[in-house]
Amino acid sequence: MHGRILIVEDTKELAELYQLYLQNEGFECRLAFDAESALPLASNEEWDLIVLDLNLPGMDGFEFLERLRKIKSTSVMILTAREADEDVIFGLGVGADDFVTKPCPPKVLAARVRAHIRRVVALQTRQNGAIVRFGPFELDIEGMYLTKNSEPVSLSAREFNILKELVMHPGKPFTPEDLYAHVWGQEFGDISAVAVYIQRLRKKLEDDPANPYYIQTQYGMGYRFNPEAFAEARP
């Protein structure tokens, strides 16, 4: 699971299309076709994002959002055919985090969802400061140590600094030259050392180092930390 998404959309075919596409992207999705059934789901369960239509039967999307904001701060992306300035202003004013107009191709929606979750991860990282959580791991930035399921994972200083650099910039690719400059503090040197340390980190982090999930290779660009890993952090 790379994140839990609640889609509130009264057009069943469109909702199911979005659900199928986001599930193929690795998200867990649930559908609600009206605000009345969506509100208890949104109130009683934890979601990484709610995708909300405005033109709903019965209670509309604005009223749903106003009621939700009295009890929950879950991120909400409005997805609607309305595009008047007053709708955008009012939606953001009552607590929406994003406003996307239809028609919105499923692949564009998936990209917006991924971008939103990356922003949330980056904000949480800054707010949490010293502790960064992903999957079963906790990285203590100030204490300079890593744990997995509360058990310490031994890291050298260079391994820790490479991991910190990647984790603090989720989704951003770093070339070996970038990492060498940031971690070794030199512009020139044995760049191949970076690949050696990446392999060491993968052996300590990955279930299958040959098919890494956390530290990925972005071909032609370098190494990146998978931002979706933060959605799997254990509380």
Name the domain count of the chain: 2
- d(Cα 172, Cα 203) in Å, to the nearest integer? 21
Q: Assess whether 27 and 121 both reside in one domain.
A: yes
Same domain, 117 and 141: no
- Give the mean pLDDT of 119-143: 72
The backbone region for 232, taken as left when phi is positive above 0, alpha when psi lies in -120 to 50, beta otherwise, is alpha
Instruction: Please indicate, yes or no, whether residues 79 and 192 belong to a single structural domain of this protein.
Output: no
Query: Coil, strand, or helix at residue 108?
Result: helix
pLDDT at 87: 76
CA nearest neighbour of 95 among 115, 75, 81, 112? 75
Residues 39 and 116 in one domain: yes
Helices 61-69 and 85-93 cross at an angle (nearest 10°) of 20
Single out the residue in 67, 94, 126 at which a domain terminates.
Answer: 126
Closest CA to 61 of 93, 86, 36, 28: 36
Residue 149, Ramachandran bin (φ over 0: left; ψ between -120 and 50: alpha; else beta):
left
For residue 1, name the pLDDT band (cuts at 50, 70, 90): very low
Taking only the tens place, the pLDDT of each residue in 157-203 is: 889 999 999 988 888 889 999 899 888 887 777 888 999 999 999 99
Instruction: Tell whether 110 and 215 lie within a shared domain.
Output: no
List pLDDT tens digits, range 198-227: 999 999 999 999 999 999 998 888 999 988
What's residue 123's pLDDT? 53
Q: What is the average pLDDT across 16-40?
A: 90
Q: What is the pLDDT of residue 124?
A: 57
**Is 160 found in the same domain as 80?**
no
**What CA–CA distance (Å, rounded) separates 46 from 231?**
12
Task: Give the least confident one: 22-31, 49-58, 91-100, 207-216.
Answer: 91-100
Higher pLDDT, 150 or 122: 150
Instruction: Supply the range of the domain harboring residue 179.
Output: 129-232
Domain boundary among 71, 99, 126: 126
On the question of pLDDT at 126 being above 80, the answer is no
Specify whether 23 is located in the same domain as 109: yes
pLDDT digits (tens, 9 = 90+) for 92-122: 777 787 788 888 888 888 888 877 776 665 5
Strand order in the sheet with 4-8: 28-32, 4-8, 49-52, 76-80, 98-101
Residues above pLDDT 70, as percent of the chain: 91
Assigned token pair, 86:
């007053």
Q: What percent of the chain has pLDDT over 90?
A: 33
Same domain assignment for residues 180 and 194? yes
Q: Are residues 110 and 14 in the same domain?
A: yes
Residues 119 and 172 in one domain: no
Of 87, 104, 126, which marks where a domain is finished? 126
CATH of the domain at 108: 3.40.50.2300
Bond before 136 cis per omega within 30 degrees: no
The answer to whether residues 133 and 120 belong to one domain is no
User: Are 113 and 9 contained in the same domain?
Assistant: yes
pLDDT at 39 over 80: yes
